[in-house]
Structure 1
Amino acid sequence: MMEAQLGLAKDSIVAVIGSGAMGSGIAQIAAASGHPVRLFDTREGAAAKAIGEIGKVYARLVDKGRMGAEEAELARERLQTVDTLDGVKEAALVIEAIVENLDAKRTLFTELEAIMDERCILATNTSSISVTAIAAPLKHPGRLVGMHFFNPVPLMALVEVISGLATEQAVADTVYATAQAWGKEPVHATSTPGFIVNRVARPYYAEALRLLQEGAADAATLDAVMRDGGGFRMGPFELMDLIGHDVNFSVTQSVHAAYYGDGRFTPSVVQQELVNAGFLGRKTGRGFYRYGEDASKPVAQAEPAQARPNTVAISMSREIKTSVLSPMEARLAAAGFTVAHHDPHDRPLHGAETQEAPAFHCSGAAIFLTDGRSATERAAANRHANTVVYDLLFDHAKATRIALARADQCSDEAWHAAVGLFQAAGFTVTRLDDVPGMAVMRTVAMLANEAADAVNQGVCSARAVDIAMQKGVNYPRGPLAWADSVGLHHVVTVLANLGATYGEDRYRVSPLLRRKLAANPVEPRFHA
């Protein structure tokens, strides 16, 4: 058994097998962190070429003032190529970054085990293959661990440290500490399909594809809503185009198969058609968007300007101490609206037959934060035809766009009043067709649900899943922290309503979410 330590000593040799984008990136940061690096590649001249490119990267960092000239020279001198696997036998850590193929990785590690000192840690940079399966043929499988970097390695902070069934805890702890010493933000995870990021991220693509298929809006409009309202750095469609639909669709298929056809991971026929057509995204010049000099940039839908309403009120039951509408109320107040408060138990507002709280009321329109029902369904339930729903925002103070949907029963007058209200608050208003849960809300609810299931199934901790999704795919907030912000009661309501509407197991509520509600009915949270 290996003894736990704080991480590799600075003079410990790190070997990297494979000099492609991932391997060269790993070699770059290991050498810059003080380790002698041995780089091996079966392709003739590939390792030497990679080291030459790394030297150019160091030079650019010097020019930008982000690395000292002497520091860069020393880091470059630490990089060496080796012609055979025997050349890495003195390494304390070997990181594999070869083709994503189980048999190839097993063969490599079996050869390495016969060469390396028994104290050497063997690490795989696999993004999807079971670490347990890779280690299975080894005589000492406890020495093998997943060390999953994200591309581009020098820029992306996250490292998933993946323990297979046999991985010794001391091995995982050493790799975790080493990644920290290299300036990364590591998280522990167990070897399950998709690990953390590739599993929890599936709803970001899946819900967008379903929204597109159901005609909620076009890709450019949905991307704009997710960026300008949801706070995501890239919308799901432009991100899939960047990743490549062959790659993204393959990962979805892999996770779906690995979980034995779980409906939560069902691939999209929309994306399948893109793959069938060879429209793989940026790399082929066409995906959801067209690319090239002659390609026009699509414009997101925006509602025409409407008059600013004179008054706005909010219905708030006396039993409710805090409201999911409070952040929006603050934005309206900042825009100069005096929001009158009414208790619907005392008297009705604007002639509605019944009232549901909390809601904004403006010129006869009842305006709700989406709860997973369509506006049309909500209007029927409340017996209030002029119902409008709005989508979740990441930052109410800074968001520039908001998505609204109107009930089929809603009058044009009420709709225009609702649009004018949000335009007066500084939003570009985008209309979505009346799909349940809208765009940002249903996506965030599903991300939180998947994150909760990962925690519930022992894949990682709540802290780890939030770090992973922020540092690995640049989400504006960790999904469980986001669920805390929205309110777990509201997230569960959204999921339950989506499940009731679609009748699919896809939207089943994680047992951990229900447990959190039962443990603390007043203010359940994942993070204190």
Structure 2
Amino acid sequence: MSALPRDSLVAVIGAGTMGAGIAQVAALAGHPVRLYDVAPQAAERAVGALRQALAVLVDKGRLGAAEADAAAARLHAAASLTELAPAGLLIEAIVERLEVKQALFRDLEAIVADSAILASNTSSISLTAIGAALARPQRLLGMHFFNPAPQMRLVEVISGLATEADCVTCIVDTCRAWGKTPVRARSTPGFIVNRVARPYYAEALRLLGEGAADAATLDALYREAGGFRMGPFELMDLIGHDVNYAVTCSVFSAYYNDPRFLPSLLQKELVDAGRLGRKSGIGFYDYRAGATRPQPQTLAAAPAPAALRVEGDLGPAEPLLARLAAAGISLTRDAGPGRLVCGELTLALSDGRTATARAAAEQRPDYVLFDLAGDYASTPRLALAAAAQAAPTALADAAGLFAAAGIQCSALADVPGLAVARSVAMLANEAADAVNQGVCSAADADTAMCLGTNYPRGPLAWADALGLPWVVALLDHLAAGYGEDRYRVSPLLRRLCLAGRPCHD
């Protein structure tokens, strides 16, 4: 089955922000659209607002006047569900309650053709569960758009247990015809994006809870070193803690309290206090009038050393050496476990152990670990952590080395895996587990995370670039350090590592 014909009516049920956005997408793609909402006049108001929005796009030069006029003419409000009967595709974007969605689709089944495709925009409810109440569950699937629907390219196309393959193919092709990028997912808790993204929030919240650093410093590290568009705390403030916490609780419960999805007591406290982020004026940050945004903590730097000994391969941090050499630091190479040595000072990329543990294992007390960077050639900031045995000057000495190469440093407490490294490893691990469980392909996992969350790289492509042995070793060290199943390595990731194969063949 190919894409839905352009003359096929698309019905959208729910005239809120998401429903209206989907209606705009379908109308601009050339379909006649009928928008329905149970609230009186809501659909009419939404259609009027959409026509105004199209006019604004014309004024800004983003849309041609003829194209906007044609799309506006295709948009109509429906006064009752019966007016949706001719639709070939019906998409609901209503309240996230299973029984309400089931009742709606039962009503729609009674009036539409047997060939019509029913789609839910749910972000968390099982498509199999919705379909269980229907006479034709094979015609039901998920079309999970991301907000704002007209701008966000990603659509998760989700199959329930009974969904027919030709329905999925039709909707995948339809999404492409609408200018969207579809990814296929099986109906499991969180689908792709809401599942795989959990570690980005969870690891940051854990670091904050362990006193590794303040939110502003951690956010700066994720942005500047990790290359993420927003740090986890500012992103949670933007999403709203009520929403973000609810999704985490939902996924945690749906996976029978798997510790990988454990909700944070810190976030619960914010929700209980009504500190929901931007929407309430305060969350991790204060958005009220007159509030001052806190700045990341930056270490004072000692003078840079003139020379440095490189002992062994630094793994993912090898590109850092060229930057240090360009800064005028003389480098000599020798065999070793993968570390930098300058007098009594030893530096190494985090491998999931603490600096204290590595100092004890290697019998070098002045041990400082540095964090992963998305691009060592350009990163403006790195996290550092010193061993408990280290001299008081160790962090400043390490900061001086990096400062010579134009890198500011922020100190973290000596936590396992620092910040960016452990988060990237956990994102890759969760994506690998989704692939291992047949939720999605490796390519779709990476596409979903890049387009749905604006990550700088797909987690599995990132793991391939870092090297699976490094990722697996870091996770194993985290699991040993914390003694928790939370950091267990995905069977797929370990299998690929042992076979010497990447996530993407």
Normalised TM-score (structure 2)? 0.98
Unaligned 5+ segments in structure 2 are: none
Structure 1 unaligned segments of length 5 or more: list them. 345-356
1:131 aligns with 2:124: no
Q: Is contact 2:32–2:75 with CA below 8 Å preserved after alignment? A: yes
Partner of residue 347, structure 1: none
**TM-score normalised per structure 1:** 0.94
Q: Secondary structure at the match of 2:401?
A: helix
Distance apart, 1:278 and its partner CA: 1.2
2:504 maps to 1:527 = yes
Is 1:375 paired with 2:388?
no
The 2-side partners of 1:399 and 1:22 are apart by 37
Instruction: Quote the Cα distance in structure 1 between the aligned partners of 2:18 and 2:395.
Output: 51
Pairing of 1:79-228 with structure 2 (within 5 A):
79-228=75-224
Confirm whether residue 245 of structure 1 aligns to residue 222 of structure 2: no
**What is the percentage of aligned positions where both structures have the same residue?**
58
Paired residue secondary structure (1:26): helix
What residue is the counterpart of 2:258 in the other structure?
A: 262
Q: Distance in 2 between matches of 1:9 and 1:333?
A: 60
State yes or no: 1:75 paired with 2:80.
no
The 10-residue stretch of structure 1 (305-314 or 189-198) with the greater mean CA deviation from structure 2? 305-314
Closer, same or farther: CA 460–366 of 1 in aligned 2, 3 Å:
same
Amino acid at match of 1:394: G
Looking at structure 1, the residues matched to 487 and 226 of structure 2 have their Cα atoms a distance apart, in angstroms, of 20
RMSD: 1.1
Contact 2:216/2:294, CA 8 A, preserved across alignment: yes
SS at match of 1:115: coil
Q: Does residue 307 of structure 2 align to residue 330 of structure 1?
A: no
The answer to whether 1:462 aligns with 2:442 is yes
1:430 aligned counterpart, secondary structure: strand
Residue type matched to 2:504 in 1? H
Q: Give the AA of the match of 1:327.
A: P
Matches within 5 A, 1:410-449: 410-449=390-429
**1:343 has 2:330 as partner:** no
SS in structure 1 of the partner of residue 11 of structure 2: strand
**Is 2:55 aligned against 1:59?**
yes
Q: How do residues 486-525 of structure 1 correspond to structure 2 at under 5 angstroms? A: 486-520=466-500, 524-525=501-502
Deviation at 1:519, TM superposition (A): 1.6
SS in 2 for 1:215: coil
Secondary structure in 2 matching 1:282: coil
Listed one character per residue, the Cα deviations across residues 424-445 of structure 1 (whole Å, up to 9, x for unaligned) are: 1111111111101000011111
Decide whether the 8 Å contact of 1:39 with 1:47 is kept in 2: yes
Q: Work out whether 1:232 is the aligned partner of 2:224.
A: no
- Residue identity opposite 1:525 in structure 2: P
What do residues 98-149 of structure 1 show as CA deviations (whole Å, max 9, x unaligned)?
1111011000000100100111110000000000011111111100000000
- Whether 1:453 and 2:438 are equivalent positions in the alignment is no
Alignment of 1:41-52 (within 5 A): 41-52=37-48
Deviations 1:200-257 (A, max 9, x none): 1111111111100100000111111101111111111111111111111111111111
Which residue in the other structure is 1:354 paired with? none
Residue pair 1:325, 1:359 contacting (<8 A) in 2 also:
no
Contact 2:493 2:503 in 1 (8 A): no
| Residue identity in the other structure for 1:502 | Y
Corresponding position of 2:372: 392
For 1:275 and 1:103, the matched residues in 2 are separated by: 26
SS in 1 for 2:316: coil
Aligned partners of 2:306 and 2:330 also within 8 Å: no
Deviations, residues 395-433 of structure 1 (Å, cap 9, x unaligned): 222211111111111123443321111111111111111
User: In structure 2, what is the Cα distance between the partners aligned to 1:110 and 1:450?
Assistant: 35
Pairwise CA distance, 1:472? 0.4
Q: Cα distance 1:58–1:336, how it changes in 2: closer, same or farther (>3 A)? A: farther
**Counterparts of 2:163 and 2:335, CA distance in 1:** 59
Distance in 1, matches of 2:382 and 2:139, equals 51
